[in-house]
Structure 1
Amino acid sequence: MNKIATPIEFGAQRLSIEDILAIANGSGAQLSADPAFRRRVHAGSQFLDNLLAEHGEIYGVTTGYGDSCTVGIPQNLVAELPKHLYTYHGCGLGAFFDAYTGRAILAARLLSLAQGYSGVRWVLLEQLATLINQNLVPVIPEEGSVGASGDLTPLSYVAAVLAGERQIYKDGTPYPTSDAFAALNIAPLTLAPKEGLALMNGTAVMTGLACIAYSRAEYLVKLCARLTALASLATDGNSYHFDAKLFSVKPHPGQNEVAAWIHDDLLAGEAPREGLRLQDRYSIRCAPHVIGVLADALPMLRSFIENELNSANDNPIIDGEGEHVLHGGHFYGGHIAFAMDSLKNCVANLADLMDRQLALMVDTRYNHGLPSNLSGASGERRAINHGFKAVQIGASSWAAEALKLTMPASVFSRSTECHNQDKVSMGTIAARDALRVLQLTEQVVAAHALAAVQGVELRMAQGELKASQLSSGVGALITEVRAISAHLLEDRALDTDLRATIAAIQAQNFSVPGGKA
């Protein structure tokens, strides 16, 4: 975790995807000193206290939850209800989100509650900020949410940790929260009547995942554009496929930007490169049209994610200043579900594109004079060396799995909880799918990067491409890849090289158009 000096302020202004990722990367959190913000938070919790004192009926405070909303809670048991809520939801299964993801989830939940319309006390916001600032990240299972009524099961682990229960990460390993709190003199929080519901009945898990997915997808747009340029160079492609005049007649802005990036990388140097063919195959020629779909979708996806981030997304909504209790369905994650289902579709198409380009580069029928499978071996040793043959098989496997996961999760709504939650978003499953598709695509991109750099070097060794014809960005990427993986002269196991390349992609360390980030 990289500690960032300036903390992110919650409560006074709209936050961005990048702010949430700054928290995930180690930045601290602080609550705004804005008087209007503090007044709004205090008004909400005070209004609920007054209603409770007057024996007003409040969903999830003086009633049971969900289908049990018709069950009245005796006044002497109201205080126990939040603990029961997070306790009986402690049934999550599957793998656990890592600490990086957990911090994004904490930030997303804090931001929603900091809107001031959830009826929580100031001390709860402070305790959430303490978890972030002390790096006390709840160990949260990935499976168990249907995305409405919110991320109930995974967020129960956040509520339980605030109360000093369950586990947090310590040095990457699960550790008892109670022991961590004791060591830091942190008092466990006893949740007020509405606070268990406010913490759990929202979209923080899917939205935190969406922030991570968005950043990784945004970077892949740029990296795949640059790698397309390398693939074109390696296969002696035609630079005019990316001409600005050509793209001016189809004015999708993201697609045009991608074409311009590829064009710039191909036209750096002595003279425009004209390939041997009038038209290259679609995976090269149509790359801007494939990558550009994601590029053009990103602004809409950002809007969906950031609007959800900066919303009060639990139920009921508490307007303390106006003295209203508003019952609705703001826990529903439909916008995130759509965003993640859409993103994973576009990203999987990048996996397919990169795999198809890799298939061209290794095949002597289509790579226009490069050695079979991009082997660097020479003489009689070529007979026993197989270069990137198996890597291309692997890339095809990863691409196929990514494509298989593009079925929209949001269409698989299931009626749950005695048919109270009879239409649900599946937003968290969609977000988890998107992250898996991103992982698989990054694996394909890593394989492509190693092969494309090899192909460009082989083309240069044959004297058909000069260093002066490489853009500074292409040259930088080649250097960065070679710092991880040496030129493949003789067959060797490439799994270590691939894993290191994937790590560099996920750290966004490779040079891309417009900068690394």
Structure 2
Amino acid sequence: MTRTLTPGKATLSDLEDIYWNGAAIALDPSAHAGIARAADCIARVVAGNDPVYGVNTGFGKLASIRIDRGDVTTLQRNLILSHCCGVGDPLEGSIVRLILTLKLLSLGRGASGVRPALVALIEGMLAQGVLPVIPEKGSVGASGDLAPLAHMAAVMMGHGEAMLKGERMAGDTALARAGLTPVVLEAKEGLALINGTQVSTALALAGLFRAKRALRSAIVTGALSTDAAMGSTAPFAEEIHTLRGHAGQIEVAAALRALMDGSGIRAAHQDNDERVQDPYCLRCQPQVGGACLDVLRQAARTLEIEANAATDNPLVLSSGEVVSGGNFHAEPVALAADMIALAVAEIGAIAQRRVAMLVDPALSYGLPGFLTTRPGLNSGMMIAEVTTAALMSENKQMAHPASVDSTPTSANQEDHVSMACHGARRLLPMTQNLFWILGVEAMMGAQGVELRAPHQTSPQLLAAKAAIRNRIAPMAEDRYMAGDMAAAGDLIASGALIDAVGGDLLPGVSA
């Protein structure tokens, strides 16, 4: 199904479908008139004598240099080619699709001054699967994501490289095979393409969508661990959480109650339980997970606004005036990315403590050491827990705020920058680490509840355990575990564990 996107009104649901599923998109025709109006304004500037930044002047520190009318198209061409300075591995295709989509939404606001043909080319590239090869590094997240967006724009001009149907090729070849024609950029158009936050925002959105999936999975794995450890459900009582009042906490507690409802393990020990309190990794799941949910929701609100924003410079105002500003500065995205990183690190930190508890016979309330029935001869899940500790520690190191690390660039013209792009890009390895941590917890939770036989866990968690066992067999004796670890991580990353229990039981992240 094709999603019709209205600039200024695209939703997180739209963008998440594009990221996960590669949904086809089309720009709402209502945007066309505004795009054409702004392009006419720029044409009038070119025909006149007044200097307007980036239209008939140089860029950045060179803004005082006037450009002859006959050199305007050369100015735009030189801008793009000179800014193709990205390095590192190419961004994955799902990210590039988001970048193109966000650029389409931004230009569609009718404030950038590009011709409708430029917008049509981006639509055609998305429809035909022409995805520019965009190196991952090179943006400081101010004055736009200049280098990575230049690699996108270069393909539109017939330069650079692109992916088409899994094959990497020259940009002009990709366009020709897709039946598309390169553009010759007119006044302002090169600047409109690279002056924006679309790479930073796409990466932050991907991090958000992955963190959302991880958090929802963590509620399931946390419930499994709680039942495996014969933990109490009393700390999840509704009134405890309504007395505090945080929405995320209330929702996570409700999800945990629903997941554990009907557990035979809990029923077997609740009347003769001598423990007064469980450790925090069990008891405080609503407080920690709920706080992370609230933070992700705040970041989601920021990113949904940014996804719909006009962020290049100068902008064509509704009056027809062309005015320089600073919407290209990605500080909102940088701060949102830092918030997501903190949440990802904390979700993993408390999950890792549950993993450590399950393998420790001093803490796991009767489970055998390292979840093996023959400890000593078998190491069981000893080193799986160590791996989660390594992943948790790596995430803590990467969670340091990127937004505080400004550095001047471009001969001090751009003297404060956001660092949003790499702040958002680090969310991809961080969430992958979290998928692996939660995958290990899922393995251990399944093993733990099976060791409580003949008592059974709840119907909802039995469904979760079935999804785990569909990919990973019980561990009776030591075996080569790397494949199990990978399969467990994929279980989380794919959303299959959420699907197994029915996603309606779990809180999501919405704007």
Match of 2:292 in 1: 294
Residue range with higher mean Cα deviation, 11-20 or 217-226: 11-20
2:53 is paired with a residue whose SS is coil
Match of 1:396 in 2: 389
Match of 2:245 in 1: 251
Q: 2:481 aligned with 1:494, yes or no?
A: yes
Counting only pairs closer than 5 Å after superposition, residues 76-95 of structure 1 correspond to structure 2 as: 76-95=70-89
Q: Is the 8 A contact 1:237 1:276 kept in 2?
A: no
Code of the aligned partner of 2:50: G
Residues 180 and 515 of structure 1: CA distance in aligned 2, closer, same or farther (over 3 Å): farther
Pairwise CA distance, 1:501: 2.1
Match of 1:242 in 2: 236
After superposition, the CA RMSD in angstroms is 1.6
Match of 2:26 in 1: 30
Q: Is the 8 A contact 1:227 1:449 kept in 2?
A: yes
Q: 2:507 aligned with 1:507, yes or no?
A: no
Match of 1:262 in 2: 256
Match of 1:9 in 2: 4
Residues 11 and 231 of structure 1: CA distance in aligned 2, closer, same or farther (over 3 Å): closer
Pairwise CA distance, 1:267: 2.9
Q: 2: CA distance between counterparts of 1:8 and 1:157?
A: 26
2:163 is paired with a residue whose SS is strand
Pairwise CA distance, 1:269: 4.6
Q: 2: CA distance between counterparts of 1:495 and 1:157?
A: 37
Pairwise CA distance, 1:124: 0.6
Counting only pairs closer than 5 Å after superposition, residues 126-205 of structure 1 correspond to structure 2 as: 126-205=120-199
Q: 2: CA distance between counterparts of 1:473 and 1:301?
A: 30
Pairwise CA distance, 1:26: 2.1
Q: Is the 8 A contact 1:228 1:284 kept in 2?
A: yes
Q: Is the 8 A contact 2:72 2:186 kept in 1?
A: no
Q: 1: CA distance between counterparts of 2:228 and 2:421?
A: 40
322, 325, 343: which one aligns with 1:328: 325
Q: 1: CA distance between counterparts of 2:115 and 2:459?
A: 54
2:75 is paired with a residue whose SS is helix
Q: 2: CA distance between counterparts of 1:255 and 1:194?
A: 48
218, 225, 228: which one aligns with 2:219: 225
Q: 2: CA distance between counterparts of 1:211 and 1:78?
A: 35
Match of 1:107 in 2: 101
Match of 2:371 in 1: 374
Residues 400 and 269 of structure 1: CA distance in aligned 2, closer, same or farther (over 3 Å): closer
2:32 is paired with a residue whose SS is helix
Q: 2:336 aligned with 1:339, yes or no?
A: yes
Counting only pairs closer than 5 Å after superposition, residues 437-448 of structure 1 correspond to structure 2 as: 437-448=430-441
1:73 is paired with a residue whose SS is coil
Q: 2:68 aligned with 1:71, yes or no?
A: no
Residues 505 and 55 of structure 1: CA distance in aligned 2, closer, same or farther (over 3 Å): same
Offset from partner CA, 1:361-404 (integer Å, 9 cap, x none): 001111111111011x44xxx43211100100100000000011
Offset from partner CA, 1:336-371 (integer Å, 9 cap, x none): 111110111011011111110000000111111111
TM-score by length of 2: 0.94
Residue range with higher mean Cα deviation, 165-174 or 384-393: 165-174
Match of 2:308 in 1: 310
Q: 1: CA distance between counterparts of 2:435 and 2:140?
A: 27
Offset from partner CA, 1:484-515 (integer Å, 9 cap, x none): 10001111122112212222322212135526
1:514 is paired with a residue whose SS is helix
Offset from partner CA, 1:200-254 (integer Å, 9 cap, x none): 0100011111221111112222211121111111111111111112222111111
Pairwise CA distance, 1:11: 3.7
Residues 126 and 240 of structure 1: CA distance in aligned 2, closer, same or farther (over 3 Å): same
Q: Is the 8 A contact 2:130 2:178 kept in 1?
A: no
Unaligned runs of 5+ in 2: none
Q: 2: CA distance between counterparts of 1:30 and 1:395?
A: 42
Match of 1:20 in 2: 15
Offset from partner CA, 1:397-438 (integer Å, 9 cap, x none): 000000111110000001000001100111111101222221
Match of 1:435 in 2: 428
Pairwise CA distance, 1:294: 1.2
Match of 2:469 in 1: 482
Code of the aligned partner of 2:53: Y
1:132 is paired with a residue whose SS is helix
Code of the aligned partner of 2:12: I
Q: 1: CA distance between counterparts of 2:254 and 2:385?
A: 28
Code of the aligned partner of 1:447: V
Q: 1: CA distance between counterparts of 2:159 and 2:296?
A: 39
Code of the aligned partner of 1:233: D
Code of the aligned partner of 2:398: L
Unaligned runs of 5+ in 1: none
Q: 1: CA distance between counterparts of 2:332 and 2:130?
A: 29
Match of 1:383 in 2: 376
What is the number of residues matched between the two proteins?
Answer: 499
Match of 2:357 in 1: 360
Q: Is the 8 A contact 2:260 2:460 kept in 1?
A: no
